[in-house]
């Protein structure tokens, strides 16, 4: 596991598992727990986004430079609840200079699409090893 994710306490706390980590693509999964539900007994949207954001971060950090989110938009398509496993797959669409565009699809354990995210990345001059 790369150092960026070894230091990611939030993703670890949520039980996220990295299933694929290759340049420009990542797959991350997590099982929804009771403490991840909102007042309607469905998965809190912020946690669906957090899963997508983690996959996005892995996909866009392809070299020693720190790449961060410049923005992202999410569309929620299906609700989920405790016990379901969610999987986020992030894929690079284009990188131009210091800017990148990534799409993330979050699915449930039946393969249904839960959410779609479009993330915009910005590569900094900071080194991940610093």
pLDDT tens-digit profile of 66-93?
A: 898 999 999 999 999 999 999 999 999 9
pLDDT at 2 over 80: no
CATH of the domain at 61: 3.10.129.10
Report helix, strand or coil for 110. Answer: coil
pLDDT at 26 over 90: yes
Per-residue b or e along 6-36, where b marks 16 or more CB atoms closer than 10 Å to that residue's CB: eebeebeebebebeebeeebbbbbbebeeeb
CA distances from 41 to 17, 22, 61, 94, 98 (A): 23, 35, 34, 37, 40
The number of distinct structural domains making up the chain is 1
Range of the domain at 89: 3-127
Largest Cα separation within the chain, whole Å, is 43
Let me know: does 116 contact 69? Beta carbons within 8 Å. no
pLDDT of residue 129: 72
pLDDT of residue 65: 87
pLDDT of residue 130: 55
pLDDT of residue 64: 83
- What is the pTM assigned to this prediction? 0.94
Which DSSP state fits 4?
Answer: H
């Amino acid at each position: 596991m790369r150092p960026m994710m070894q230091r990611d306490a939030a993703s670890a706390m949520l039980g996220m598992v990295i299933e694929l980590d290759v340049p420009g693509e990542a797959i991350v999964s997590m099982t929804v727990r009771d403490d991840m539900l909102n007042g309607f007994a469905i998965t809190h949207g912020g946690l669906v986004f957090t899963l997508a954001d983690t996959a996005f971060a892995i996909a866009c950090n392809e070299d020693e430079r720190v790449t961060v989110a410049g923005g992202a938009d999410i569309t929620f398509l299906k609700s989920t609840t405790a016990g379901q496993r969610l999987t986020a797959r992030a894929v690079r669409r284009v990188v131009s200079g210091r800017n990148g565009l990534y799409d993330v699809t979050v699915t449930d354990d039946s393969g249904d699409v839960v959410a779609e995210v479009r993330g915009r990345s910005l590569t900094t001059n900071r080194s991940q090893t610093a």
